[in-house]
C-alpha cells in the first residue's frame, strides 16, 4: 500500500509523446527498464567514481555506485510507503549525465565551458541524454520518460530558478519534487560516504586510526564492534562499523522524514509539492555526523596527494581534447556535425561528457599524443 502522498504511475503527468499503456508494466517500471537498457547507463561501467583503475579494479565505478544508491533508495522508499519503482528509476538515472573521470572531469569540463561563456551541469546534461541523445525508438527521439522521472533528474539534488533556467519552466520549478525524488540526493550521500570509507581503507590512502579520529559517528560504532568482536581482524571490524554507519544514516532518514511529513500534516502529493521546504531530511544530530564524515573524506581522501596525479591527468586530457575539437570541428563524428553548426562549444561538451574514461584517453593519445 502506498502512502496517500506517494507518486502513483496512474496519476503521472505523462510523456511528451503519448504511448499506449503496456500490458503488464506501469509507466515508472517502463522508465526504469528504458534507463537500464540505454547506452548512457552502460557507459557508467567505465566512468570513474573516485578511484581510477590505476590503483585497482576492485573499487567502485560510476555504475556500481549507482546500483548501491538504487539498493539503499529502494529500502528506504519501501519503509516510507513511497513508490519504489519511481525511486529506483531516479536512483538508476541520477548519475547518467556525469562525464569521464569523476568530479575532476566535471570540473575540467565546466571550466572549458565557462571560458566560452557557458557552463556544464551534469543534471541538465542527463536531461539532454534522455530527451535527445538516446535514440532507440522510431516514433520519437530520446527515451520519452514520464514527467516525474524527468523532473526528478533535474530537481533531485537542488532547486533551479525559473528566472535563470527558463528552458526548465515546465518542471514546476516553484514547487518541491515528490518525496521519491527528494530522497535521491540523501541516499546518494549515504551510499558514497560509506563506500568511500571502504574503498579508501582498501587503497591505504586513509587509515583506520584516521577515520576514528575524524568521524565521531564511525568511532561510536567502532567501539561497539570492538566489544562484540575483540578477536576479529581490523578489516572485518571496519566492515562491521561501516555497515552500522550506513544503517544509522538510513534509519535516521526514514524516521526524520516520516516525522517531518506528519508535522507538516501532509496528506497528498500536492501537499508535498507545496511544502515550504523539502521534507526528506536527516535529524540535526545525524546531519552533523554526516557533515563531519564528508569533511573528513574531502580533507583526507578526495583531495589527497595520492589522487592528485589522476585528477591532474584527467583535467589535462579533457582540457586538451576540448581545445582540439574546438580547433578541428571537422574531426567530430558525423552525427555531431549538424549540432556543431548551431553551437560548437555545446556540441564538443556533449561529445566529451558522453565518453568513458578509456575512450577519451584513446582519443587523446591519437590526437594529442
Indicate whether 87 and 169 sit together in one domain. yes
In the chain, the number of structural domains is 2
- Flag whether 32 is in a domain: yes
Separation of CA 258 from chain center: 23
- Flag whether 3 is in a domain: no
Is the pLDDT score of 54 beyond 90? no
Please count the other Cβ atoms lying within 10 Å of the Cβ belonging to residue 46. 16
Question: Alpha-carbon distance 350 to 353, whole Å?
Answer: 5
What mean pLDDT is predicted for residues 355-361?
96
Q: By the 8 A CB rule, do 252 and 283 touch?
A: yes
* Least confident segment among 48-57, 87-96, 125-134, 289-298: 48-57
Indicate whether 17 and 68 sit together in one domain. yes
The pLDDT of residue 37 is 97
Q: Which tens digits make up the pLDDT trace of 4-48?
A: 999 999 999 999 999 999 999 999 999 999 999 999 999 999 998
What mean pLDDT is predicted for residues 156-160?
91
Domain CATH code at residue 292: 1.10.3210.10
The pLDDT of residue 56 is 66
Q: Which tens digits make up the pLDDT trace of 268-308?
A: 999 999 999 999 999 999 999 999 999 999 999 999 999 99
List the one residue out of 241, 197, 240 whose CA is nearest residue 217.
241
Indicate whether 73 and 127 sit together in one domain. yes
Indicate whether 325 and 270 sit together in one domain. no
Indicate whether 265 and 276 sit together in one domain. yes
Q: Average pLDDT of the chain?
A: 95
pLDDT band at 52 (very low <50, low <70, confident <90, very high): confident
Q: How far is CA 195 from CA 83, 141, 185, 294, in A?
A: 25, 36, 15, 12
Q: By the 8 A CB rule, do 108 and 286 touch?
A: no
The pLDDT of residue 86 is 98
Q: Which tens digits make up the pLDDT trace of 194-238?
A: 999 999 999 999 999 999 999 999 999 999 999 999 999 999 999
Indicate whether 262 and 313 sit together in one domain. no
pLDDT band at 51 (very low <50, low <70, confident <90, very high): confident
Is the pLDDT score of 68 beyond 70? yes
Is the pTM for the entire model greater than 0.85? yes
Last residue of a domain, one of 307, 322, 355: 307
The pLDDT of residue 369 is 74
The pLDDT of residue 62 is 95
- Flag whether 210 is in a domain: yes
Q: How far is CA 214 from CA 32, 145, 219, 298, 355, in A?
A: 38, 42, 8, 11, 36
Indicate whether 178 and 273 sit together in one domain. yes
Please give, one letter per residue, the 3-state secondary structure of the chain. CCCCCCCCHHHCCCCCCCCCCCCCCCHHHHHHHHHHCCHHHHHHHHCECCCCCCCCCCCCEHHHHHHHHHHHHHHHHHHCCCCHHHHHHHHHHCCCCCCCCHHHHHHHHHHHHHCCCCCCCHHHHHHHHHHHHCCCCCCCCCCCCCHHHHHHHHHCCCCCCCCCCHHHHHHCCCCCCCHHHHHHHHHHHHHHHHHHHHHHHHHCCCCHHHHHHHCHHHHHHHHHHHHHCCCCCHHHHHHHHHHHHHHHHHHHHHHHHHHHHHHCCCCCHHHHHHCCCCCCCCCHHHHHHHHHHHHHHHHHHHCCHHHHHHHHHHHHHHHHHHHHHHHCHHHCCHHHHHHHHHCHHHHHHHHHHCCCHHHHHHHHHHHHC
Q: Which tens digits make up the pLDDT trace of 242-268?
A: 999 999 999 999 999 999 999 999 999
CA neighbours closer than 13 Å in the CB half-sphere of residue 184: 31
- Cβ neighbourhood burial of 96 (10 Å; 0-12, 13-18, 19+): buried
Is the pLDDT score of 57 beyond 80? no
- Flag whether 250 is in a domain: yes
Last residue of a domain, one of 307, 324, 344: 307
pLDDT band at 158 (very low <50, low <70, confident <90, very high): confident
Question: Alpha-carbon distance 139 to 17, whole Å?
Answer: 8
Q: Does 9 or 369 have the greater pLDDT score? A: 9
Please count the other Cβ atoms lying within 10 Å of the Cβ belonging to residue 268. 12
Question: Alpha-carbon distance 167 to 160, whole Å?
Answer: 11
C-alpha cell at 53: 583503475
Amino acid at each position: 500500500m502506498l502512502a496517500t502522498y506517494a507518486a502513483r504511475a496512474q496519476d503521472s503527468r505523462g510523456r511528451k509523446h503519448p504511448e499506449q499503456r503496456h500490458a503488464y508494466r506501469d509507466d515508472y517500471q517502463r522508465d526504469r527498464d528504458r534507463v537500464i537498457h540505454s547506452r548512457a547507463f552502460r557507459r557508467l561501467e567505465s566512468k570513474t567514481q573516485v578511484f581510477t583503475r590505476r590503483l585497482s579494479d576492485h573499487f567502485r565505478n560510476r555504475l556500481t555506485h549507482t546500483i548501491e544508491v538504487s539498493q539503499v533508495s529502494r529500502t528506504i522508499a519501501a519503509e516510507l510507503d513511497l513508490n519504489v519503482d519511481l525511486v529506483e528509476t531516479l536512483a538508476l538515472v541520477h548519475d547518467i549525465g556525469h562525464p569521464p573521470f569523476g568530479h575532476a572531469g566535471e570540473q575540467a569540463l565546466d571550466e572549458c565551458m565557462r571560458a566560452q561563456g557557458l557552463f556544464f551541469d551534469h543534471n541538465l546534461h542527463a536531461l539532454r541524454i534522455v530527451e535527445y541523445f538516446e535514440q532507440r525508438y522510431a516514433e520519437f527521439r530520446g527515451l520519452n520518460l514520464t514527467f516525474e522521472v524527468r523532473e526528478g533528474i533535474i530537481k533531485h539534488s537542488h532547486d533551479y530558478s525559473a528566472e535563470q533556467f527558463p528552458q526548465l519552466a515546465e518542471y514546476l520549478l516553484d514547487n518541491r519534487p515528490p518525496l521519491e525524488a527528494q530522497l535521491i540526493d540523501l541516499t546518494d550521500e549515504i551510499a558514497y560516504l560509506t563506500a568511500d570509507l571502504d574503498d579508501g581503507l582498501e587503497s591505504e590512502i586513509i587509515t583506520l586510526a584516521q577515520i576514528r579520529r575524524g568521524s565521531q559517528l564511525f568511532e561510536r560504532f567502532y567501539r561497539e564492534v570492538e566489544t562484540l568482536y575483540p578477536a576479529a581482524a581490523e578489516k572485518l571490524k571496519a566492515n562491521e562499523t561501516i555497515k552500522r554507519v550506513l544503517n544509522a544514516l538510513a534509519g535516521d532518514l526514514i524516521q526524520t522524514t516520516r516525522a517531518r511529513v506528519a508535522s507538516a500534516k501532509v496528506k497528498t502529493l500536492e501537499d508535498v509539492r507545496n511544502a515550504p521546504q523539502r521534507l526528506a531530511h536527516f535529524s540535526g544530530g545525524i546531519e552533523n555526523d554526516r557533515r563531519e564524515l564528508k569533511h573528513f573524506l574531502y580533507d583526507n581522501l578526495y583531495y589527497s596527494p595520492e589522487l592528485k596525479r589522476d585528477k591532474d591527468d584527467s583535467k589535462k586530457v579533457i582540457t586538451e581534447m576540448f581545445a582540439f575539437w574546438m580547433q578541428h570541428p571537422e574531426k567530430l563524428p558525423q552525427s555531431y556535425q549538424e549540432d556543431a553548426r548551431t553551437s560548437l562549444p555545446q556540441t564538443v561538451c556533449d561529445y566529451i561528457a558522453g565518453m568513458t574514461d578509456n575512450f577519451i584517453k584513446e582519443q587523446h593519445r591519437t590526437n594529442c599524443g
